[in-house]
Structure 1
Amino acid sequence: MIIRRWQESDRPFLRTLYLRARKSSWTWLDSSAWQLEDFDAVTLGEAIWVAEEDGHRMGFASVYENDNFLHNLFVDPDFQGRGVGSALLKHAQSTFTHTGALKCLSLNEGALKFYQRHGWHVEAQGVSPQGDYLLMHYVLKP
């Protein structure tokens, strides 16, 4: 598996992956208004990396680099449980210059456990249009 910077030619696939993965993971939300173009809006101005193996794009992560903020990490449901998310997370963490941050929806229990297994810890709680979330931090190890 390689982790590489995204290219414009990845956009159609990543749009589809983002829509499909949200529908698969965020089952408590009404997805009727979600569109392929949502990917464009949520990654605007972010660094995006793609996990790929044997020509298959398996997932992506996007980061606000100046803030060390992991904004998105989504794995195609067909490739979950194969280390794709871990590889993307490790790569994102390698770009941090100080403590990393992310917000995870409270009802997304699988994602919360995933981040906690990788050393992230809860710092605060908040509310977003998608529901309650937990603000999580990752402290760089010297």
Structure 2
Amino acid sequence: MIIRRWQESDRPFLRTLYLRARKSAWRWLDSSDWRLEDFDTATLGETVWVAEEDGHRMGFASVSVNDNFLHNLFIDPDFQGKGVGSALLKHAQSTFTHTGALKCLLLNKDALTFYQHHGWKVEAQGVSPQGDYLLMHYVLK
């Protein structure tokens, strides 16, 4: 598996992956208004990394570099549980210059468990249009 910077040619696939992965992970939300173009808005101005193996794009992470903020980490449901998320997370963390941050929806129990397993700590709780979330931090070692 390689982790590489995204290219414009990745956009159609990543749009599809983003829509499919959100529908799979956030089953409690109404997805009827979600569109492929949501990927463009969600990653605007961010550095996007793609996990790929044998020509298959398996997931992506996007980071707001100036804020050390992991904004998106989505894995194709067909590749979940195979280390793709861990590899992308490790790569994203390697780009942080100080404490990293992310927000994780409270109802996304699998993601919360995943981040805590990788050393992320809950710092605060908040409310978003998608529901309650936890603000999590990762302290560089």
Report the secondary structure of 1:102's partner residue: strand
In structure 1, what is the Cα distance between the partners aligned to 2:69 and 2:50?
A: 17
When the two chains are superposed, the root-mean-square deviation of aligned CA atoms in Å is 0.2
In structure 1, what is the Cα distance between the partners aligned to 2:22 and 2:77?
A: 10
In structure 1, what is the Cα distance between the partners aligned to 2:102 and 2:24?
A: 20
What stretches of structure 1 of length at least 5 have no aligned partner? none
Q: CA deviation at 1:38?
A: 0.2
In structure 2, what is the Cα distance between the partners aligned to 1:27 and 1:60?
A: 20
Q: CA deviation at 1:80?
A: 0.2
Q: Normalising to structure 1: TM-score of the pair?
A: 0.99
Q: Normalising to structure 2: TM-score of the pair?
A: 1.00
Report the secondary structure of 1:126's partner residue: strand
- Which residue does 1:54 correspond to in 2? 54
Deviations 1:55-86 (A, max 9, x none): 00000000000000000000000000000000
Q: CA deviation at 1:4?
A: 0.0
Report the secondary structure of 1:107's partner residue: coil
- Which residue does 2:119 correspond to in 1? 119
Report the secondary structure of 2:134's partner residue: strand
Q: Say whether residues 1:33 and 2:25 are aligned partners.
A: no
- Which residue does 1:99 correspond to in 2? 99
Percent of paired sites with the same residue: 87
Deviations 1:30-62 (A, max 9, x none): 000000000000100000000000000000000
Q: How does 1:1-142 map to 2 (within 5 A)?
A: 1-141=1-141
In structure 2, what is the Cα distance between the partners aligned to 1:54 and 1:8?
A: 19
Report the secondary structure of 1:20's partner residue: helix
Q: CA deviation at 1:134?
A: 0.1
What stretches of structure 2 of length at least 5 have no aligned partner? none
